Amino acid sequence: MAFSMFLRTSGCQSRMFTQQAMRLATQPAITQRMISSSLPVRNIMKDTKTTPILNAIRSFRTSCVRRSAEKVEDHSRLWVIERVVSAALVPLIPLALMMPNKLFDSLLAILITAHSFWGMEAMVVEYIRVLLFGHVIPKIMMLLVYFLTATMLGGLFYLNFNDIGVSRAFWRIWKNMKSKNAK
Annotated binding site: 115, 127
Return binding residues for a ubiquinone.
Answer: 127
The number of C-alpha atoms within 13 Å of 23 and in the hemisphere containing its C-beta is: 13
CA dist 11 and 5 (Å) reads 12
Q: How far apart are the first and last CA of the chain?
A: 68
Return binding residues for heme b.
Answer: 115
Q: Angle, nearest 10°, between helix axes 15-25 and 52-98?
A: 170
CA dist 82 and 117 (Å) reads 10
